[in-house]
Amino acid sequence: MEQQKRYGHFDDQHREYVITDPQTPWPWINYLGNEDFFSLISNTAGGYSFYKDAKFRRITRYRYNNVPMDNGGRYFYIKDGDTVWNPGWKPCKTPLDFYECRHGMSYTRVTGRKNGVEASVLFFVPLKKWAEVQKLTLTNQSNEVKNLKLFSFEEWCLWNAATDMENFQRNFSTGEVEIEGSTIYHKTEYRERRNHYAFYHVNTPIQGFDTDRETFVGLYNEFADPQVVIEGKPRNSHAHGWSPIASHYIEVTLQPGESKDFVFLLGYIENEQDKKFSAPQVINKDKAHALIAELDTTQKVDQAFAELCQYWDALLNIYNVRTGNDKLDRMVNIWNQYQCMVTFNFSRSASFFESGIGRGMGFRDSNQDLVGFVHQIPSRARQRIIDIASTQFPDGGCYHQYQPLTKRGNNDIGGGFNDDPCWLIFGTVAYIKETGDFSILDEMVPFDNQPGSEVTLFEHLKISMDHVINNLGPHMLPLIGRADWNDCLNLNCFSWDPNESFQTTENVSEGTKAESLMIAGLFVVTGKDYVALCQKLGKTQEAERMQKAIDAMIEAVKKHGWDGEWYLRAYDFYGNKIGSNECDEAKIFIESQGWCTMAEIGAQEGMVAKSLDSCKKYLECEHGMVLNNPAFTKYIYEYGEISSYPEGYKENAGIFCHNNPWVIIGECLAGRGNDAWSHYAKILPSYVEEKYQTLHKVEPYVNCQMVAGKDAFKPGEGKNSWLTGTAAWMWYTVSEFILGIKPDYDGIRIDPCLPETATDYTVQRKFRDAEYEITIHPNGAQKGVKTITLDGQPVDGTVIPYSAGKHVVEVTM
């Protein structure tokens, strides 16, 4: 194997990933903000900010898929004599004497050094504030006095990120700004219906500014050589239309050894309708002044940063493991949990692969994200469940996506994805098990957000199960509808028109024949959870009714869903098998293996073990398990988008990391710890980081949605990092099934499944009002708990009963 270049390393003590070369194989990004105000930031300070919704409230402009890549961001230009440079290397790309980017928990620190000057910028969004802080520290490390010219730069987006990119006949005439002291206000469209504006402030007097892009950059220049910076002189331009920007100009003198801080603040304000203006055409700045006053000194900013760090300390102290294996510990304790927070916040809306204008929050996606997040901030998870359920219809179906700002279902994509309803049970059960809060089931939740239509959340769960039962096909298996978890298996969509979307309302039919084995397995898994919940609630009849439906589904799978060595994937529109040995290509698919083994369907008949073995034989490769095998080599009209991808990419035999954990959990339930671990380690970022930084390309500290599979041109190359259900599934898998600490209604169930090589480990777990220190002695066993003691007393079974306070638990296997 070629020696892979390294671009950075983990710093576990500070919970940071340290990037030491700005020319990473792809922008390596981080997220700032945890609620309401968010920013994306690359290792060269590229990216953008928005309030709540990356489509409807985009604050700063960003150019996706541009040349050069990662174009636009918050840039500081430092002019030292004739040399102009940026602390993050870009956009000037002046060679630096030192460069470092530290991505941490909701903050990023970028440091550059050039000719004896160090510029270090700390970027973060303070808790509960609608603003991004950029604390720039300039230090003169030379022996001479430095006279520097400092220019800041942000480019405003005209709020709606979609029309911002297309409606230029309007956009070039609407832009408006105001300038007051050291603050530049962006108020486009505020004169009419908008009640919000943004501002960019610095906590020092400025010697000039610019707010018109072409004046600052120059029509024939670039971000790399803005004419104002090259000339070293601001023009105090006032934008009227065209493209408003914000740039401060500051003259800085530094004695040898001297250091100065500058606090830049990018803020967002909303005003009440009757308080929009302080004078005709003048925006009411009271709230902006107040926000600025809270963050206008180094001391205040340092305090806000300390609070953010404490916030993360507390979050990451809820589940903490010490195994002695750094690569595992850092993923479990830091990065996997961090990624879960980010996916919970953004679903699949805004990353460097998701433009922020396409998708809002996914019904299935957000429910799955919950299992990675619910232990962190249960109250936010609770609200999310209600929001999601509010987009359901009375028959149990639902909108596939909704917009975070309005919380309304997204009409462009509609509904009809028949796996969607089951996920509501998955998310809700995870919430109740974590919190013990059954009261959520009594919450009154509307259909399609229509006031007056409210029923209890429990009723929503019931109709979710019923939606599957009411939509069975000829083999008594679930009808797939528009698609199941695999958005690209479009069995009721027949398209020869490249202008049609495979997944939207152009589907010719919802179909009466195409059935999904993935939904069958999902129905059994979530159905068992539903039955247990009903029993817990004393709803015996409902439990019995559903148990019958589950039993029938299990029989249907055994009878019509087994191919001999693995589970079928589906039946198509005409009732032909998909994912069968009889097929020419794509004989086996991962989704149905995952879900039917998790459901343990046919375990006694040997189906589970055979299916898991087939995954190893046909799907596994060096970088993980591919989605299907062999890959499709041609477009299949009856299958839709899945066959539109080249071999080895995305849903056509890519390693779609999201679904690998399903098989891993199947392995864990079957007690095959060695196999579970080997599948897990293959897609664990810290293992990939060590070996494949160049090949993998995307951020080595988080999972990506897809790694090119064995049939691809470049197996092992990653894509679509950050926003993927992989985060929550990796967490769920390792925390509950591998390390075996599983929240349950009455306590914590302990049931690890480990490789034989595992040694003793300790998990510190906060759970409701209790804190458990659980030490597991595997003794070479892969599965099977022999004894448990709680505070020295033996426990019957595998559930430690919940009681508040601190407890010590010893487990031998």
Beta carbon nearer to ligand BGC, 130 or 485: 485
> Following DSSP, what letter does each residue of 717-734 receive, concatenated?
-EEEESSSTHHHHHHHII
Spatial CA neighbour of 703 closest among 658, 667, 733: 658
The SS3 of residue 524 is helix
Identify which range of 223-231, 290-298, 369-377, 481-489 contacts ligand BGC by CB under 6 A: 481-489
Beta carbon nearer to ligand BGC, 362 or 778: 362
Phi-psi region of 220 (alpha: psi -120 to 50; beta: other; left: phi over 0): alpha
Q: Which of 246, 331, 374, 488 binds ligand BGC (CB under 6 A)?
A: 488
Beta carbon nearer to ligand BGC, 176 or 365: 365
Closest CB 6 distance from ligand BGC, rounded Å:
30
Spatial CA neighbour of 485 closest among 337, 351, 598, 600: 598
Q: Interface with ligand BGC includes 348 (CB under 6 A)?
A: yes
Q: Residue 696 belongs to what H/E stretch? A: helix 693-696
Active site residue 769: no
Residue 620 token pair = 């596994």
Q: Interface with ligand BGC includes 369 (CB under 6 A)?
A: no
Q: Interface with ligand BGC includes 711 (CB under 6 A)?
A: no
Q: Residue 79 belongs to what H/E stretch? A: strand 75-80
Q: Interface with ligand BGC includes 366 (CB under 6 A)?
A: no
Residue 788 token pair = 């448990």
Question: One of 212, 487, 563, 711 is an active-site residue; which one?
Answer: 487
Q: Kindly list the distances between the CA atom of residue 454 and the CA atoms of 308, 386, 403, 404, 408, in Å, as whole numbers in the listed order.
A: 38, 11, 20, 20, 15
Evaluate whether 348 touches 365 at the Cβ level (below 8 Å): yes
Q: Interface with ligand BGC includes 767 (CB under 6 A)?
A: no
Closest CB 640 distance from ligand BGC, rounded Å:
11
Q: Interface with ligand BGC includes 486 (CB under 6 A)?
A: yes
Q: Which of 27, 356, 362, 561 binds ligand BGC (CB under 6 A)?
A: 362
Identify which range of 33-41, 480-488, 729-737, 748-756 contacts ligand BGC by CB under 6 A: 480-488
Size of the site for ligand BGC (CB under 6 A): 9
Evaluate whether 468 touches 519 at the Cβ level (below 8 Å): yes
User: d(Cα 392, Cα 398) in Å, to the nearest integer?
Assistant: 4
Closest CB 484 distance from ligand BGC, rounded Å:
8
Q: Residue 339 belongs to what H/E stretch? A: helix 336-346
Closest CB 214 distance from ligand BGC, rounded Å:
38
Closest CB 653 distance from ligand BGC, rounded Å:
13
Q: Which of 210, 365, 542, 620 binds ligand BGC (CB under 6 A)?
A: 365
Closest CB 589 distance from ligand BGC, rounded Å:
12
Evaluate whether 706 touches 720 at the Cβ level (below 8 Å): yes
724's CB contacts (< 8 A; 6+ apart) are 343, 348, 657, 658, 703, 704, 705
Q: Interface with ligand BGC includes 487 (CB under 6 A)?
A: yes
Beta bridge partners of 620: 625
Residue 5, burial from CB neighbour count under 10 angstroms (0-12, 13-18, 19+): exposed
Q: What are the φ and ψ backbone dihedral angles of 754, each rounded to 5 degrees?
A: -125, 160
Spatial CA neighbour of 285 closest among 156, 186, 188, 168: 186
Helices 540-560/457-469 angle, 10° precision: 30
User: d(Cα 420, Cα 399) in Å, to the nearest integer?
Assistant: 9
Identify which range of 141-149, 216-224, 435-443, 486-494 contacts ligand BGC by CB under 6 A: 486-494
Q: Which of 364, 560, 710, 765 binds ligand BGC (CB under 6 A)?
A: 364
Q: Interface with ligand BGC includes 485 (CB under 6 A)?
A: yes
Identify which range of 22-30, 35-43, 167-175, 358-366 contacts ligand BGC by CB under 6 A: 358-366
Cβ atoms within 10 Å of 536's Cβ, excluding its own: 13
Beta carbon nearer to ligand BGC, 490 or 735: 490
Beta carbon nearer to ligand BGC, 517 or 763: 517
Long-range own/partner contacts, residues 404-412 (CB < 8 A, 24 or more apart): 404/52, 404/53, 404/347, 404/349, 404/360, 404/361, 405/52, 405/53, 405/56, 405/57, 406/56, 407/449, 408/449, 409/448, 409/449, 410/359, 410/360, 412/504
Beta carbon nearer to ligand BGC, 58 or 348: 348
Evaluate whether 408 touches 449 at the Cβ level (below 8 Å): yes
Cβ atoms within 10 Å of 755's Cβ, excluding its own: 18
Do the strands 244-254 and 146-159 form a parallel or antiparallel pair, or are they unpaired?
antiparallel
Closest CB 720 distance from ligand BGC, rounded Å:
8
Instruction: Give me the 626-655 binding string for ligand BGC, x by CB under 6 A, dash otherwise.
Output: -------------------------x----
Identify which range of 200-208, 251-259, 483-491, 740-748 contacts ligand BGC by CB under 6 A: 483-491
Beta carbon nearer to ligand BGC, 283 or 657: 657
Closest CB 503 distance from ligand BGC, rounded Å:
9
Closest CB 185 distance from ligand BGC, rounded Å:
37
Beta carbon nearer to ligand BGC, 461 or 728: 728
Evaluate whether 711 touches 653 at the Cβ level (below 8 Å): yes
Helices 420-435/517-536 angle, 10° precision: 40
Beta bridge partners of 588: 629
Identify which range of 76-84, 485-493, 569-577, 629-637 contacts ligand BGC by CB under 6 A: 485-493
Closest CB 488 distance from ligand BGC, rounded Å:
5
Beta carbon nearer to ligand BGC, 129 or 364: 364
Beta carbon nearer to ligand BGC, 45 or 361: 361
Beta carbon nearer to ligand BGC, 17 or 649: 649
Amino acid at 765: R
Identify which range of 51-59, 361-369, 407-415, 734-742 contacts ligand BGC by CB under 6 A: 361-369
Site for ligand BGC in 132-161 (CB under 6 A): none
Instruction: Give me the 392-421 binding string for ligand BGC, x by CB under 6 A, dash otherwise.
Output: ------------------------------
Q: Interface with ligand BGC includes 591 (CB under 6 A)?
A: no
Beta carbon nearer to ligand BGC, 88 or 648: 648
| Residue closest to ligand BGC, measured at CB | 487
Q: Interface with ligand BGC includes 249 (CB under 6 A)?
A: no
Annotate 493-516 with b (16+ C-beta within 10 A) or e (fewer).
bbbeeeeeebbeeebeeebebbbb
Interface with ligand BGC (CB under 6 A) = 348, 362, 364-365, 485-488, 651
* Catalytic residue positions, numbered: 487
